[in-house]
Structures are given as C-alpha cells and as structure tokens.
Structure 1
Amino acid sequence: MSREQLAVQKAREAFLTGISKPLEYRIKQLKNLKRFITERATDISEALRKDLYKSENATQMFEIIGLEGEINLAVSKLAEWAAPRPVNKNLLTISDDVYIQPEPLGVVLVIGAWNYPIAVTLQPLVGAIAAGNAAVVKPSEVSSHTAKVMELLPHYLDPEMYQVVTGGVPETQELLKQRFDHIFYTGNSTVGKLVMEAAAHHLTPVTLELGGKSPCYIDKNCDIRIACRRITWGKYMNCGQTCIAPDYILCESSIQDQVINEIQKCIQEFYTNDPKSFADYGRIINQRHFKRIMALIEGSSVAIGGDGDESECYIAPTVLRDVKSGSKVMQEEIFGPILPIITVNGLKEAIQFINEREKPLALYIFSSSSKVIKQMISETSSGALLANDCLVHFTISDLPFGGVGNSGTGRYHGKYGFDQLSHLRSCLIKKLNMEGVNRIRYPPHTTEKLRWARVFLLKQVNLARWRQMAQVALLAALAAFVVKGYKGTCIRPEPDGTDITDWFMQSHDVCSQSQVIHTSVQKGACVVMQRYK
C-alpha cells in the first residue's frame, strides 16, 4: 500500500469512529491549529522568506492574520452553524419537525497553492475541521520550505484524522486516484480540469479556486491618483503572484499617460527607487516561472520597469502601454508583476472586451459614478466585483470567495466554507397520527382532493407569524359575537383522536350554507368564523 493510500485509509478509519461528531472535538482541533501558526511563527516566516522572499511582517499581514480570523470566527460560531436550521413549512407538514441538519461529508482532500502557501492551504482546512470532516492536506511542492513546515501539523492536530502528504506531481496523482468525499483545490485552471476529471471517477464533489485574467477598468472621471495607488498595491503585492491581482487595465487613451505617471509615483513610494533591494518587494517563486513571465513582455511597449535578474528570480514592477488584445501577455493569466494597459473607447467597449473573455475571479472598476458601477455590475459576470479598491473582499468572512465558470466553482470563507464542506441534510420528522391529512394524497384522486391539495401544498407557512395570527384569530372570534352580521361562530376543542384538518374539513362540509372566513389553530382549539350567505 502506498503512502498516499495509507494516509487516506487512516483518515477514513478515524472518521468512521465518529470522533469528530461532538463540537467540542472540532473546537479543540481548531484551537490546536491556531496554536500551530502561533508556536511555529518563526519557522513559517523563515520558510516563506526562502520560498517567496516575504518579510516577516508581510507574512503576518497576508498569511496569518486572515487565518487567525477564520479560526476565531469558526470557534465562536460553530454551535450556530452546526445547529438544525428550521425552514418554512406548508400546511401539509405544519405539525411536523422540518429542518436542515448540517453533517460531515467524510474525508476531504485539500490541495494547497504555492503563492500563499499557509493561508490558501489552511483556510480550507478550517472549514473541513469545523464541519467535522477528516482531511488529507497536500501542500504545494513548489513552495518546498513551507511544505516542510506543514509536515509538523500532525504534532498539533489529531494525527489519525488529519494527514499531511508532501511530494510532487506523482504524489498528487496518486492521491487523486483515491476516493474522497470532497476535493478542495487552489491553483490554475489547467490542473483544475485534471482534478475535476479525477474526481469524476468517484463522483466526488469539488471546490476549485482557480483564477484568470482579472480586469481593472478606470473611468476617466474618477480620482485617478487614488485609483492608481490602490491598483499599484493590489498588483505588485507578493510580486504579482496573487490570484485576484488586477491582471490588466482598461482605460481611455486620453488618460493612459496620467495612469502610467501615477503608477510610477506609487511604485517609487511603496518600493523605493530600487525595489530589488527593498525588503517588502518579493520574488518570483522559481526560474521556470521567471522565464515564463519575462517572455510575456515580448512584443509589447514597456512604459515602466521591464528588467529582471534570473539568478535571484527578480522582476521589476512593470507597466506595458498600448497593449493589443492579441499580444502574448493577454493570452494567459500573468501571475507576476507585469501590468498591461489596453485602451478602449469608454465603458461600453470595456464591458464588451470583458464579456468576450472567460469570466474572471475578480473584476475591478474605479469610478465616482454609481451609474457606471451599476452598469458594470449588471452587464458583466465575475467571481467578485469591487468598486474603487482591490483584493480587500478576501478579508470579509461574510462574503463568499470563489469563481464562476473558468475561474472556479464553489466558495468558502466563514460560514460558506463550513457549508461547502458539509452535507446539508434535509430532515422531516412526522408522527404516526394526523392520518386524515393524508387522505388528500391517497387514491382515488378526486377533484375535491386536488382542490385541497393546492391549499395544503402551495401555501407556505411562517410558524412565528402563524402563532401570532392564531392569537389574533382567537380574539377576533370572541369579538365576532358582538359584531353585527356574523353568526354561528364556534370555538371547539379538538376531539381526542381527531386531527385538526379532519375536523375543519368536516365542519366545512356541515356548514354548507356558510362562508368560511378564517381558520386558526392554537393549543388544540379550532376556530371557524362563519358568515351566513
């Protein structure tokens, strides 16, 4: 048996013991996960420095803080998320218990990415643990130093329930041959298709957090200085290796020079005149990606930067001007510090340009006009849309994070991650009485039964409102005795052994000379308000 098979087997055997069903167990594991990132902070920072040239403060800001927030939220909200969720009923099921019960899926495979190897690997794990699943974690082999730190996870989490498998492509391929109950993959669309194909053999559901070319439209009437400041931050953070980084700019030709000048000022302000020696400017993950990114510049006009050092995997913050839609840099997600500018003739053409391509993971628009923003929202589609900022939607746990179409499927963060990695089980608990109601569905199917079926099946019932209406109905029934024109109002207790619906239907048949105005149920009493025809 291979190492990968053994890891999956151990995780499944541990899950089947039911150990993760109690919420106390899950909370303990979540707190231990937080202890891992706290106690191993130095190891994590050193690993990320070696992998991506991230500074210690950048690691805390962009890898750890958000993860801590996700853990804290899951611990504080777990009882609420895992509780049965009541739903509205119809009249046919009004006396039944009807609810949604979240339950664990089983064994989840989490395949992490290398660009934020702590955050994008462990945040899905938070959802898996909170939902009560076992998990096999596969860190990216590209960020090899961070993957080595991940091997310490079983020293903090339950070593049977939570397995870590390191290695490269062969190990990932072997894992994908195994049967999981869910696969959570973060990476590119090419590998995402392979993951989805492998999952299909076992009918395993997948969450694919992919990426794509996220456009950024700058309206000529906005504050271009502030827009460029925020775009510069979003683009060059982590040396452009962010799945939701602005991939390219769309703007009118009349403001292109101003945009370039403002971005140049921001690069100098953020990273000094020498980004290569600046502690908070990162590096490309390896030489293979360095060569790929540098090749994308070919054939385009460089406005800023453009230089690189292969020995250090350094590429300067770069802006390309007057880029054509058919250029090399527009054929794939850049995932590096190269920012092309494409000129368009206004909002309509920008929207057309966006819609002619795959749906992006994020879409950014900078405008002071709410009309322009609303038009972009209504006429495009993307995983997320931000107006007048970049990236910050990732920090909000109440917003689902995920793509659409080629940019991904599924979502996570906060309760969305819990729900994504849970089975939301529909439950209906009925008693073996009230059989009179079932006469509607039993043969023969008469016209009269069809009429009643429409009433009982199509009318949704809000129980809280129903109770209020019942109280009002009882008071109204008492008041009806003194209201002219109403006669025959009756309040009768439900006879033992007879359900309310039976009694009501019988009463309706008996009172054939009357018009039924209102019915209500409260504490076993049935009220019928009648008015003589």
Structure 2
Amino acid sequence: MLKHASASESASASASTPAAAHESLTTAFASGVTLPIDFRIAQLKALYEFLSNHEQNHFNALQTDLHKHRMEALIYDIMPIFKDISYLISNIRNLSKPKLASYDFVAPVYLHKDPLGTVLIFGAFNFPTHVILRPLAAALAAGNTVCIKPSELTPASERFLVSLSSVLDPRVFSVVTGGSDVCEQLLSLRWDHIVFTGSSFRGRSVLAAAAKFLTPVTLELGGKSPAIVSSAAHVPTAVSSIVRGRFVNCGQICLAVDYCLVEDGVYDEFLKQVLTNIRVTYGNAPSKTHHYGRLVSSHHHQRVVSLLQETGGKVLTGGEHDDTDSHYVAPTVVAIEDENDVLMRDEIFGPILPVLRVKSINDAIDFVNLRPHPLALYLFTQDAKEKDQVLSRTRSGSVAVNESVLQIGARNSFLGGVGESGMGSYGFSRGFETFSHTKPVMHSTPFLARILGILHPSFYSNMGDKSCNWFENGMRLFGGMPFRRFASISSKGKLDTEAMEDIEH
C-alpha cells in the first residue's frame, strides 16, 4: 500500500540542510537502494498519488504565489507533471532494459542504462512546482537520489514541495530551502547532475560552480523568443496565439513570445487586432480580471516598470502598474522602431509585448540570427516555403508554427535550449536519458573469444602475402573502408605503400 499524507503529516514535513542532504543521499545511492525497478515505480506512484490527493493545495499555492487562474495552472503547471509521471510509470521497464547495439565483433554489445547518482534540482519562481516535479520524476525513474531547492520567492509553493517529504522515501529524496546563501552551499558540494531553470546570468554561475567537479548540468535559460508574423499569416490566429503566449502567467514564462517581427503587409492589421484581443481577453480593467496574473515580487515589478519608463517605443495599450496590494502591470503593447531599444536587449519576463515592423521574411530571419539562439521561435504563415525557409535557417530550442508555447507540452515532446538559451533537456523519455549514463557492455564467451583470436597479432603477422591481402580487405569491408589493390607486400607483412592505389568507386 502506498502511504497517503494527512494534513498534519504534510505540515510536519521539514527541509534539510545542504550538507546533511548531500551526505544522506550519497550514502543511500551507494547502498543500491534505488536500483530495483519496483522501488522506483513505488516512488513514482507515491508522487502521483500525493499530487492527486493534494491537487487543491497545489492550485492554492500557485494562486497565492502568482495569482494563477485554476485553468491556467491546470494546463501549464500541473497537467504536464501528471503526463510525465504516467509515462514513466508505464514505460520504465522498457526504458531501463538493455538494448542490443550490434554483433560487430561476433560477441553482442548491449547498451545499459545506469543512474548517475545524486541529482540537485533548482526551482524557479515562474513555474515553482512544474520545473521541479518533472525532472524529479525523471531522476527518480532513472534510479537517482534527488535533492530539490524550491524558489524562496514563492513561499506557498515551497511549503507544498516540502510536504513531499511525507510520502517519498527519505533515503532518496531531500528538500533544502533558503536564499542565495543556501544555493552557494549546495553548489559547493559534489553532485552527479545539476538542473537549473532561470536567467542566463545565474546559469553561468551554476555552470562555473559545476565545472569545479566536472558535474554535468541541464540549464533551461530562456532568452528572447521571437514571433515572426508573415504577410501570408492568418492574422486572427496569430493574434490570438501571441496574446496568450505573451501574457499568460503575466509574461513570466521562459518560452513566452518576447517580441514580434511583423511583415509590412499585415503590420497595421496585426496591431489593430492585438489591441482588440487584449481588451476582449482581459477587459477594460485587467487588474480586476480574475484570470490575469501578477509579477512575483516588488523587485521584479520595479524592473518591469523601469523598462516601460526607459523605452523609446510608443505604448499602444497598457502601461498601468500598481505595487501596493499586488505586483500588477497591465498587458502592454509597445511599437518599436529602434532594434537597440531597452526592450530588445534582454528577456523581458513580464507583460510587455514589443512589436517591430520588417520588410520581409528574410529580414526577420536575419534579425533573429544576429542574436543569441532563443529557447523558442514562433512562426505564423500559411506559406509552406516560408515555413521551410525559417525552419532551415534559424536555430532555437523549439518551434511552433501558427501556435505558441504549447509545443513542449505535447506527449513525447520535451523542453531544451540551444546555445545561450540552455543545454540538456527533460520531458518523457528525454528526462530518463538525461539522468542516466548509457554504457556499452560486451558479452563474450570462451568460444567467441577463439573466433576473435583473428585480431591477435600472432594470427595475422604470420600470414602469407595473399592471405594478408585478403584479410586486410576483409577488415576494410567490415569497417566500411575502401578496398585497396596491392601490387606487392613484403615477407614481413609490411605494405609497399608506393605500389598501392585506391580502387575507384
């Protein structure tokens, strides 16, 4: 029977210190407790049941921290977690099973999956449970022990994650809470893998700390993800998707549409429809709309307001803000003419949508390629050639055509960046791969070893000229190399290279 956490048990669950968590998890992994597949499945089922039984607490935490509407939290935060856990429970035996690689040397070589060891997962304030629970499930499924560090900026979600200690085996799971000093303590320890979601600046710090121990990392860093709107786009579709992809979670999504590049032919119509769509979606007073979120803190509120104060662009709608009762900034659209405007420098991570006019798709592609590779790219067009052109000439972590944000939530899809938008990935089978080491294992026998004796120097060094010729060409065929024609060969088995010539293929 899986243990159900009562309200009192969840409340009494407590966090650990960095050193104690690391020592406990390292010792547990060395004991081999995580190796049985049945043990891993039990942990995943316990996690699934806890999240199912405490779903309302989960919703409440996200509402308290980020003013998330229940439906928004369900679609973007909670549902992907359940999909991942369900997939892992159903497929863990197949994922863990050794796979035949080849019989190249007669003896079979299988690819085995080993757990990495102890995994450290840092949370992020914008999706405080999602970016912890998805990699947590994958790491447990792969047989690792796991330490999580929730964001201190979302205290209700932090408390919810601490309560996981009441259902997961304490030998393989720990929670550490605190601020930047705790993060530094955690990074001073030797882990076998680190997962971090956040800004590129913080990501560089994590990578530098991991380099001390040559610890592999998964970094989900975001960046300025563009939306390209072609003259061949269906404008209502583009507008609806972009408004949702920019302003959901108050713009605090690493995959959010960060800015728009709109072709001349549809620029005016696009702006007109965007302003109408925002008014219809959030009303004339978005601050009173129950499905519009808030920024996470006063610090982030001031940062976003400063961008609005410094931009040289024209504010077409929004711009209102209030930090008295909540960290509110209205959905804002800014028409930009200067590509070096303050809104175009770094990821905005707030409810501001800059819109730039471009003359052609080629100009849009050049604009994107002059900047670091984004975590996502969104293209709106009904022209197949334009789609192929953008897909082949740009680089990004993911792409959605005529849609936004939803591409990583699809079954068997995954989250992962490229270049400055991150490294590594997780989600469904990719998560299991990330937290596993794949090692080739050859299974030979004394009989097979006798066959492989042809590779021993004592075998081929005593061959005659003709036999040596045939033997080498046999090896070349086996290795995918070109044949050679030999004019002569010495009695010592050394090739007369001057007499050799390639056979023309």
TM-score (norm 1): 0.83
Residue 229 of structure 1 and its aligned partner are, at CA, apart by: 0.6
SS at match of 1:357: coil
The structural deviation recorded for 1:259 is: 1.2
Q: CA deviation at 1:66?
A: 1.1
Equivalent residues in 2 for 1:293-308 (5 A)?
A: 293-297=304-308, 298=310, 299-308=312-321
Native 8 Å contact 1:196 1:206 kept in 2? yes
User: In the alignment, what sits opposite 1:229?
Assistant: 240
Q: Contact between 1:440 and 1:450, CA under 8 Å: does it hold in 2?
A: no
- 8 Å CA contact 1:401–1:412 kept in 2: the answer is yes
Aligned counterpart, 2:351: 337
Task: State which drifts further: 425-434 or 281-290.
Answer: 425-434
Question: Cα 1:426–1:98, aligned 2, differ >3 Å: closer, same or farther?
Answer: same
**Maintained 8 Å contact 2:102/2:108:** no
Match of 1:402 in 2: 416
User: 1:433 deviation in Å?
Assistant: 2.3
Are 1:89 and 2:103 counterparts? Answer: yes
Aligned partner of 2:256 in structure 1 is 245
Corresponding residue number in structure 2 for 1:148: 159
* Aligned match of 1:105: 116
Structure 1, 199-208 or 52-61: larger mean CA deviation: 52-61
CA distances 1:138-191 after superposition (whole Å, capped 9, x unpaired): 111111221122111110100121000011100011000000100011111111
Unmatched segments (≥5 aa) in structure 1: 460-533
Give per-residue Cα distances to partners, 1:329-378, cap 9 Å, x unaligned. Answer: 11100111100011111011100000000000000000000100000011
Q: Which has more radius of gyration? A: 1
Out of 251, 255, 260, which is 2:271 matched to? 260
Q: Which letter does structure 1 place at the counterpart of 2:157?
A: T
Shift of 1:272: 2.0
Amino acid in structure 1 at the alignment position of 2:166: H
CA contact (8 A) 1:440 1:449 kept: no
Paired residue type of 2:228: Y
SS in 1 for 2:425: coil
Distance 2:184 2:166 in 1: 26
Give the C-alpha shift of residue 254 in structure 1.
4.0
Q: CA deviation at 1:300?
A: 1.7
1:449 to 468, 471, 479: 471
Looking at structure 1, the residues matched to 144 and 333 of structure 2 have their Cα atoms a distance apart, in angstroms, of: 45
For the 8 Å contact 2:264–2:360, the answer to whether it is kept is no
Question: Residue 414 of structure 1: CA displacement?
Answer: 0.4
Residue of structure 1 in register with 2:89 after alignment: 75
Residue of structure 2 equivalent to 1:431: 445
Q: 1:452 to 1:253 in 2, by over 3 A?
A: closer
Q: Which amino acid aligns with 1:306?
A: G
Tell me the residue number matched to 1:183. 194
Amino acid at match of 1:439: I
Worse overlay, 449-458 or 107-116:
449-458
2:129 to 100, 112, 118: 118
Summarize the alignment of residues 364-379 of structure 1 with structure 2, pairs less than 5 Å apart. Answer: 364-379=378-393
What is the match of residue 465 of structure 2?
none
| Structure 1 position 399, deviation (Å) | 2.2
1:275-290 equivalent positions in 2, closer than 5 A: 275-290=286-301
Alignment match of 2:144 (pick from 116, 120, 133): 133
| Helix, strand or coil at the partner of 2:349 | coil
Secondary structure at 1:433's aligned position in 2?
Answer: helix
Deviation at 1:392, TM superposition (A): 1.1
Partner of 2:455: 440
Question: Cα distance, 1:416 vs. partner?
Answer: 0.4
Shift of 1:257: 2.2
Greater shift, 244-253 or 432-441, is seen at 432-441
Query: SS where residue 325 of structure 1 aligns?
Result: coil
What SS does the corresponding residue of 2:203 show, helix, strand or coil? helix
Structure 1 CA distance for aligned equivalents of residues 102 and 413 of structure 2: 25
What is the rounded CA distance, in whole Å, between the counterparts of 2:72 and 2:260 in structure 1? 26
User: Hey, what's the Cα distance between the residues in 2 that align with 1:15 and 1:437?
Assistant: 37
The answer as to whether partners of 1:108 and 1:128 remain within 8 angstroms in 2 is yes
Q: Does 1:310 align with 2:297?
A: no
CA distance in 1, matches of 2:263, 2:410: 32
1:383-423 CA deviation, whole Å, 9 max, x = no partner?
A: 11111000111112322320000000001100000001000
Letter in 1 for 2:53: E
Which SS does the other structure have where 1:303 is aligned? strand
Output the amino acid matched with 1:302: V
Distance (Å, rounded) in 2 between the aligned partners of 1:161 and 1:173: 22
The separation in 1 between residues aligned to 2:235 and 2:159, in whole angstroms, is 44
**In 1, Cα distance between equivalents of 2:272 and 2:17:** 55
Which residue identity is paired with 2:474?
Answer: W
In structure 1, the partner of 2:175 is 164
Return the alpha-carbon distance in structure 2 between the equivalents of residues 56 and 108 of structure 1.
Answer: 31
Pick from 15, 18, 21: which aligns with 1:7? 21
* Contact residue 231 and residue 264 of structure 2 kept, 8 A: no
**Structure 1 residue identity aligned to 2:139:** A
Distance 2:110 2:129 in 1: 36
Residues 377-386 or 266-275, more deviating: 266-275
Aligned 8 A contact 1:440 1:452 in 2: no
Rounded Cα–Cα distance in structure 2 between residues aligned with 1:225 and 1:448: 69
For 1:163, the aligned partner's letter is S
- Conserved in 2, the CA contact under 8 Å of 1:4 and 1:174? yes
Q: Does the 8 Å contact 2:287/2:330 carry over to 1?
A: yes
Partner of 1:384: 398
CA distance in 1, matches of 2:454, 2:264: 73
SS of the residue corresponding to residue 87 of structure 1 reads strand
CA distance in 1, matches of 2:245, 2:445: 58
Could you tell me how far 1:447 is from its partner in structure 2? Answer: 4.1
Larger displacement relative to structure 2 (267-276 or 13-22):
267-276
Map 1:517-532 → 2, pairs under 5 A: none
Asked if the contact 1:441/1:453 (under 8 Å) is kept, the reply is: no
Shift of the alpha carbon at 1:293?
A: 1.0
SS of 2:206 mapped into structure 1: helix
Q: What TM-score comes out, normalization by structure 2 length?
A: 0.88
What is the CA-CA distance between 1:457 and the residue it aligns to?
A: 3.6
The aligned counterpart of 2:226 is: 215
Query: Among 36, 43, 59, which residue is 1:45 paired with?
Result: 59
Moved more, 218-227 or 431-440: 431-440
Gaps of 5+ in 2: 1-15, 462-467, 482-505
For 2:112 and 2:362, how far apart are their aligned partners in 1?
A: 46
Identity percentage of aligned residues: 35
Counterpart contact for 2:230–2:266, Cα < 8 Å: no
1:36 paired to 2:50: yes
Q: Deviation of residue 307 (structure 1)? A: 1.1
